Amino acid sequence: MSASLEKAVAVAGYYPALASHVLKIAIGQEKVRDHFVHAETTFLGREVRRHMTVLVLTPTRFIRVHIDDGEEGNTTNSASATIESALLRTISSVALTHIVHDPERFKEGDVPSEVILAVGWGVHSRIELEPAVCGDEGCDADHGYTGGITGDDTMVRVSAIADGEASVLALEGFAATLNAAVGEHA
């Protein structure tokens, strides 16, 4: 594991020993080409839940490590850490969405308000269904369902307000390096 990745995990402060252990297993003997670490806290009613996603690019693979607090309502401390890995040649899409408030004032060198990185390699899909309708408001016949299948492999969202401009720029940089690496393996 690279020193910069180890430092980023330590700075994130979310179970750094667990994160380092899992990352070392995921990375193995490969060299870390680039990385992005994103720790996040969410609030569900009275519960505070923490998550951390670490994206790692090696010369041959894209690795995602996600660590979550234990199950909702669990009174004992626990965490789960999941490793996902894809060969760069199997990545089918890399999408980076830029969200900009007041786009008419945006100029080169400004930091977007948010960026969302989505990486697909065909492992996970989400199916969204809804009842189909025929357009006749008085019709009560069953027309089945309609919907779509969306690739849902990896998505990371950061915002300048919540995560800081440095985090937005870091995710943009990681996405650029990932895009270049995927192109090299196409």
Residue 75 reports pLDDT greater than 60: no
Mean pLDDT of 54-79: 85
Residue 152 reports pLDDT greater than 60: no
What values do phi and psi take at 74, rounded to 5?
-70, 130
Residue 150 reports pLDDT greater than 70: no
Element (H, E) at 91: none
pLDDT tens string 27-61: 999 999 999 999 988 777 777 778 899 999 999 99
How many Cα neighbours within 13 Å face the side chain of 90? Answer: 11
Domain count, the chain: 1
Least confident window among 3-7, 36-40, 130-134: 130-134
Give the residue numbers spanning the domain of 155. 3-184
User: Taking the model in full, what pTM does it have?
Assistant: 0.82
Pairing of strands 154-159, 79-87: unpaired
